[in-house]
Structures are given as structure tokens and as C-alpha cells.
């Protein structure tokens, strides 16, 4: 965003072109949020990054926490003390945070508490394409799904209202196409909210089994109230007329509107904005009013399975079509073409020439656009580190790598990286490999990822004496997601200097006896440190420290305005 200060303007009615994520940031201001805690991850990162730039002026406390679980807990603590609190993460982040989220639903919250989950159909920047609406179902918390930036802002405000009405966490489920779409957003008032205080209630907040047993039915009762909210929610709305009924939600609604226009069919559309719990009565009546129903949703048949169950009770004669019968894919991102194709098959309709024009244009664009696979930047210290690893191990080591810019090292010509599953997994997987293979094993992790999820694995390696070298690529930034600071940078999200936590100190404190810090561009030193580490009889840690080139060039540019950024 050109000037995030725009978000601070208290001019209700003003319209601005915002990213979906920036609209969430504005929504947070309007909702009177006091505490924001996030861990970055695409496609959610701009929520935290935008708030970080204005938090001080907005009177919001904002932090990048060490991981999503911690972020959710910081926000939860603030909420339990009576403040409105927001956390945001990419969808896999919620896997990390889910342990706390699921039991937080039992205790409930005090100040409004919203967790934004930004899902990534098509894995544009993720290791899987999980559908996090299932977390709402699993945790028993309400879920709202915006279809554009304006709705993202509005729904965030509503999510806080619902959260306070039910004293429950609420999920705002975005997808890449909403987070990263720009749209006109109309501003509302910026609310100043009084913060409450922490009121002791151990039977509610201390989740020992006896208390959990009592809280579970309370949660189930709250979800009955949530169902009533869903029935009257203006986000669940019927548009258009006809005997063909489309049930859709979030971003898929946009594809439905365009696909119907493209194939020249009119339909009655039930657009769901609150997708958990579902408005069962509304859906029942909708099904009774159509001859045929089609559920259009990306990824999993989350709505479809529930709609089918509702149809079984309320409208047995209405056939429900969707992805379970193979009319729409269960993977990847939807498009107008995909939805038009599915609908035309269901309706036995020929798509016609206007569709071919659109399809041909897309194919043409794909042919013309050169492929642009991601690659490491020229001068990236990771390249030197990978080279040192390769030379020292003569390319014979099995490398358990991790998530960050350095994952790209798995590609030729570097080819350093044989396994990569999830953030922080490199250390545990390396340990497991050593128990079976006779080949040397190397673990590779980035600095932010080290702080995020590697430390228990490192303690485990020391405790169980797993023999491998754990290489920490410390480029002093969370580079991949936008160079956010982390505990090893000595800077906070709000730009304040703070205690710098040294990776080597942590490694030693975890019980690792061999710890070396090397500049990867001091190539001979780097190779000899790696060789020495591989000879060590227990787990060894080598920290390759060299700043990210992007950060370095920004710093230079800031120091010397004549250098172009
Ligand atoms: C659970 C989870 N949270 C967030 C992300 C998004 N993410 C991918 S890599 C990365 C951090 C990369 O930083 P670092 O480890 O320092 O490596 P660098 O990119 O700087 O080389 C993050 C936050 C993710 N993939 N999984």
C-alpha cells in the first residue's frame, strides 16, 4: 500500500482501493482492537505488516510472535483481560495454533477475539491446500467467509460483535484471491473501546478435566445461539430468481455470478457469508423453493455434505449437485471457466462461443507469459551456505530441509534438500533419518523457522543424542514472507530496539555441545566448520550468518538516498 497512514483517517464514507488484507487491517482499527499478534505467512502477511506500520499511531499493541500458537495465545490473553484482540495466520499456521484454539472455545473469551485464517487454494505459496473451515467445525466456533475486500472489513467488525455476544473465538476465513485482491472499501467509524479487566473465574478458565466437562455443554449451547445468528445474518442472503438454486460462499460467489452470465442462465443464488454454523432453516426453505440445487465451493465439500444432509430432512426430491458427483474439482483454485464448465455439465448445456473466446484468451495468455519459477536472489548468502554444505559432504548427505527462501536450494544446480514437510520439521525428520540410514544426515533451517518450531526438536536431538549436523541459515530476517523481524533481529514489529536472542546461545542451552557460527562467504572457514561438525559424535549446530541481500540493499538505500531502492 502506498501510504498506510490513509487507514488512520477517521472519515466514514470515504472510499479507498485496498487489498483484502488491508481491509482487514482497517476493520481492526474500526473495531477498536487493542492487541494484534501474528506470525507472518502468505497470503495473510499484509494484515500484520499493515497494522505494524500504523499501530503506534492507532494505539494498538502489535507484535510478530515467534509462531502462530504463541500469537493466538497472546491475543487470547488480551481478550481474557477484556480487550478486543486479533490474530492472523496462513492456514497451516492454524495447525500450529489449533491446540490452544480448540480449548479456548471451551473457556470462551471476554473481549472480542477473532482469528483470521488465510487459506491458499492452488498452493500459490503453501505446502498444502487444506480447507480451514473444518477448524471452525472441529473447534465449534463461528466462521465468516468474505467474498471481497469490502466484505472482509465488514465481516471482521461483525466477527467481533458475534465473538462478544457468544463469548467465543470467531474465525474469519479468507483465501488468497480475497486477501490479495484490490477492491473499493468504504470506511466506517473508528471505534475507541474501553478495555475491561481480568476477572478471576478459575472454573471457567482453568481447563482441568472436571471444568472441561462442564464447559463442553456450555460451548454446545453457544453454538445453538450461533445457529440463530446465522439464520438472521444478512451475510446469508438470496439473490436472483429461478428454479435452479446455487448455494455458494466466499470467493466462489464471484465465479458463480460470472459463470451464470457467461452461459446465459438465470438462477436463484444463496450466498453464504456465515458458513459455520449453517442457517439450516434458511437452506431448507431455499431447497424447497428450487428444482435442482448446485453447491459451488472451492476445495473440500464442506457446505455440500451439510446441504445434502439438510436436503435429506427437508427437500428429499431436490437433487444436490457438486463436487461429490465430480462436477467440480476438489483441488486447486476455482475460476469462472471451471464453474461455467461444471454448471453446463449439470444443466446439459452447450457452453457456446462466448465461453470459447474467454477460454482461448486464457490459453493465449498462458502461452505468451514466460514461466517465472521462484529463485534465490543474486548474492544470497544461502547460496554460499549450500555450496559449503555440498563441498564438505561431497554431495553425499541426505538433507532434511525446511521452509523459507532456502527451500529453493533443493533445485539444481545446488540440489541441497531431499525432504521438506512443514515449518520446523527438518530437525525431527533428520533425527529419524539417522536411525535408519548409514549416510550422513544434515538438517537445514532458516533463522525465523528456527525460533518458530525447531527448539523442542533440537532439545530432543541433544537428549537422545541424534547424530547429525543442524545448519541454521541466519540471514537476519524472515525473508520469504516480507523480511519481518524476529527474535534474532533485535527489533520489534513496532520498530523498537529490543533484546536480540542469539541462535548459538539457544543451541548451547538446548544441550548441543558443538556450536559454530560462520560467515558463509568466508568459504574455507564455512567448509571446514561443516567438516568438523560432521565428525562430531553427537548433534552439531553450524550457524551460517550473513544478512539477506534484500535487507542489506534496503539498509544501504536508507543510509544513502542516492541509491535507488
Ligand atoms: C506454519 C507456517 N507458518 C508460516 C509459514 C509461512 N512461511 C514460509 S517460510 C517462512 C519463514 C521463512 O523465514 P526464515 O526461516 O528466516 O527463512 P528465509 O526465508 O529468511 O530464508 C514463513 C513464515 C508456513 N509455511 N508455515
Buried b (16+ CB within 10 A) or exposed e, 350-380: ebeeebeebeeeeeeeeeeeeeeeeebeeeb
Report whether pLDDT(202) > 60: yes
Which stretches does DSSP call E strand in 431-490? 441-446, 469-474
* Mean local confidence (pLDDT), 151-162: 98
Report whether pLDDT(254) > 90: yes
Residue nearest to atom 12 of ligand 1 (CA): 404
Polymer length of the chain:
565
CB of residue 405 inside a 6 A radius of ligand 1: yes
Ligand 1 site-directed mutation target among 70, 125, 478, most atoms within 8 Å of CB: 478
Ligand 1 site-directed mutation target among 95, 449, 475, most atoms within 8 Å of CB: 449
Report whether pLDDT(476) > 90: yes
Q: CA of 116: how far to CAs of 171, 178, 269, 297, 495, in Å?
A: 6, 12, 26, 19, 23
* Mean local confidence (pLDDT), 189-211: 94
Q: CA of 394: how far to CAs of 133, 337, 386, 531, in Å?
A: 46, 50, 12, 10
Residue nearest to atom 5 of ligand 1 (CA): 41
Radius of gyration (Cα) for the chain, nearest Å? 25
Report whether pLDDT(564) > 90: no
**How many CA atoms does the CB half-sphere of 222 hold within 13 Å?**
23
Residue nearest to atom 21 of ligand 1 (CA): 405
In the chain, % of residues over pLDDT 90: 90
Q: CA of 167: how far to CAs of 61, 99, 139, 212, 394, in Å?
A: 22, 19, 14, 16, 58
Q: How much is the pTM? A: 0.96
CB of residue 479 inside a 6 A radius of ligand 1: yes
Q: 423 CA distance to ligand 1 centroid (A)?
A: 7
Give the pLDDT band of residue 565 (cuts 50, 70, 90). very low
Q: Quick one: which atom of ligand 1 is closest to the CA of 407?
A: 21
Report whether pLDDT(560) > 80: no
Task: Please give the pLDDT value at position 196.
Answer: 83
Q: Coil, strand, or helix at residue 435?
A: coil
CB of residue 478 inside a 6 A radius of ligand 1: yes
Report whether pLDDT(351) > 90: no
Q: 483 CA distance to ligand 1 centroid (A)?
A: 10
* Mean local confidence (pLDDT), 50-78: 97
Q: 481 CA distance to ligand 1 centroid (A)?
A: 6
What is the pairing mode between strands 182-186 and 15-19? antiparallel
Residue nearest to atom 22 of ligand 1 (CA): 41
Residue nearest to atom 7 of ligand 1 (CA): 41
Residue nearest to atom 4 of ligand 1 (CA): 41
Question: Do residues 534 and 394 touch, judged by C-beta distance below 8 A?
Answer: no
Q: 307 CA distance to ligand 1 centroid (A)?
A: 37
Q: Quick one: which atom of ligand 1 is closest to the CA of 483?
A: 20
* Mean local confidence (pLDDT), 331-355: 89
* Mean local confidence (pLDDT), 197-202: 95
Task: Please give the pLDDT value at position 552.
Answer: 84
Q: Quick one: which atom of ligand 1 is closest to the CA of 40?
A: 23
Each residue's pLDDT tens digit, 363-383:
888 888 888 888 999 999 999
Ligand 1 site-directed mutation target among 404, 420, 422, most atoms within 8 Å of CB: 404
CB of residue 93 inside a 6 A radius of ligand 1: yes
Which stretches does DSSP call E strand in 312-440? 319-321, 398-400
Give the Cα separation of 62 and 87 in Å (integer). 10
Amino acid at each position: 500500500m502506498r501510504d498506510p497512514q490513509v487507514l488512520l483517517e477517521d472519515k466514514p464514507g470515504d472510499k479507498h482501493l485496498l487489498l483484502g488484507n488491508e481491509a482487514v487491517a482497517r476493520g481492526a482499527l474500526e473495531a477498536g482492537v487493542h492487541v494484534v499478534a501474528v506470525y507472518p505467512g502468505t497470503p495473510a502477511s499484509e494484515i500484520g505488516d499493515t497494522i505494524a506500520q500504523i499501530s503506534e499511531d492507532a494505539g494498538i499493541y502489535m507484535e510478530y510472535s515467534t509462531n502462530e500458537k504463541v500469537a493466538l495465545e497472546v491475543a487470547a490473553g488480551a481478550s481474557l483481560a477484556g480487550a478486543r484482540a486479533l490474530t492472523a495466520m496462513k492456514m497451516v499456521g492454524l495447525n500450529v495454533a489449533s491446540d490452544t484454539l480448540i480449548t479456548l472455545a471451551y473457556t470462551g473469551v471476554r473481549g472480542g477475539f477473532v482469528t483470521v485464517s488465510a487459506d491458499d487454494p492452488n498452493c500459490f505459496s503453501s505446502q498444502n491446500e487444506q480447507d480451514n473451515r473444518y477448524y471452525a467445525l472441529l473447534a465449534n466456533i463461528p466462521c465468516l467467509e468474505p467474498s471481497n475486500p469490502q466484505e472482509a472489513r465488514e465481516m471482521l467488525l461483525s466477527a467481533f460483535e458475534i465473538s462478544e455476544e457468544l463469548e467465543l473465538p470467531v474465525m474469519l476465513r479468507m483465501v488468497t484471491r480475497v486477501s490479495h485482491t484490490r477492491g473499493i472499501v468504504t470506511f466506517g467509524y473508528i471505534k475507541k473501546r474501553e478495555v475491561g479487566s481480568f476477572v478471576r473465574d478459575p472454573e471457567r478458565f482453568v481447563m482441568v478435566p472436571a471444568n472441561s466437562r462442564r464447559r463442553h455443554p456450555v460451548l454446545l449451547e453457544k453454538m445453538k445461539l450461533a445457529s440463530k445468528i446465522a439464520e438472521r445474518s444478512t451475510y446469508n442472503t438470496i439473490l436472483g430468481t429461478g428454479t435452479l438454486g446455487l448455494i455458494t460462499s466466499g470467493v466462489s460467489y464471484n465465479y458463480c455470478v460470472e459463470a451464470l452470465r457467461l452461459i446465459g442462465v438465470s438462477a436463484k443464488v444463496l450466498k453464504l457469508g456465515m458458513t459455520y454454523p449453517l442457517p439450516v432453516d434458511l437452506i431448507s426453505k431455499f431447497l424447497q423453493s428450487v428444482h435442482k440445487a448446485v453447491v459451488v465451493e472451492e476445495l473440500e465439500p464442506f457446505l455440500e455434505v451439510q446441504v445434502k444432509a439438510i436436503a435429506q430432512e427437508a427437500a428429499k426430491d431436490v437433487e444436490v449437485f457438486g463436487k461429490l458427483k465430480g462436477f467440480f474439482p476438489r483441488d486447486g483454485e476455482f475460476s469462472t471457466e471451471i464453474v461455467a464448465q461444471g454448471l453446463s455439465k449439470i444443466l446439459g448445456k452447450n457452453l457456446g462461443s462466448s465461453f470459447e473466446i474467454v477460454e482461448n484468451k486464457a490459453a493465449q495468455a498462458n502461452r505468451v507469459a514466460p514461466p517465472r519459477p521462484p529463485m534465490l536472489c543474486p548474492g544470497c548468502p544461502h547460496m554460499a551456505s549450500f555450496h559449503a554444505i555440498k563441498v564438505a559432504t561431497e554431495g553425499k548427505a541426505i538433507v532434511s530441509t525446511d521452509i523459507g527462501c532456502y527451500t529453493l536450494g533443493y533445485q539444481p544446480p545446488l540440489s541441497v534438500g531431499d525432504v521438506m514437510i512443514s515449518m520446523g520439521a527438518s530437525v525431527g525428520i533428520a533425527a529419524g533419518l539417522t536411525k535408519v540410514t548409514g549416510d550422513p544426515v544434515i538438517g537445514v533451517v532458516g533463522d525465523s523457522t528456527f525460533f518458530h518450531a525447531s527448539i523442542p526438536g533440537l532439545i530432543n536431538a541433544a537428549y537422545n543424542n541424534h547424530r547429525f549436523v543442524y545448519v541454521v541459515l541466519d540471514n537476519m530476517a524472515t525473508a520469504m514472507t516480507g523480511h519481518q523481524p524476529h527474535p534474532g533481529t533485535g527489533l520489534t514489529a513496532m520498530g523498537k530496539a529490543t533484546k536480540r536472542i542469539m541462535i548459538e546461545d539457544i543451541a548451547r542451552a538446548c544441550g548441543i555441545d558443538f556450536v559454530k557460527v560462520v560467515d558463509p562467504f568466508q568459504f574455507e572457514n564455512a567448509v571446514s566448520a561443516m567438516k568438523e561438525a560432521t565428525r562430531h559424535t553427537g548433534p552439531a549446530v553450524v550457524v551460517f550468518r550473513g544478512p539477506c541481500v534484500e535487507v542489506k540493499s534496503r539498509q544501504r538505500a536508507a543510509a544513502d538516498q542516492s541509491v535507488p531502492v
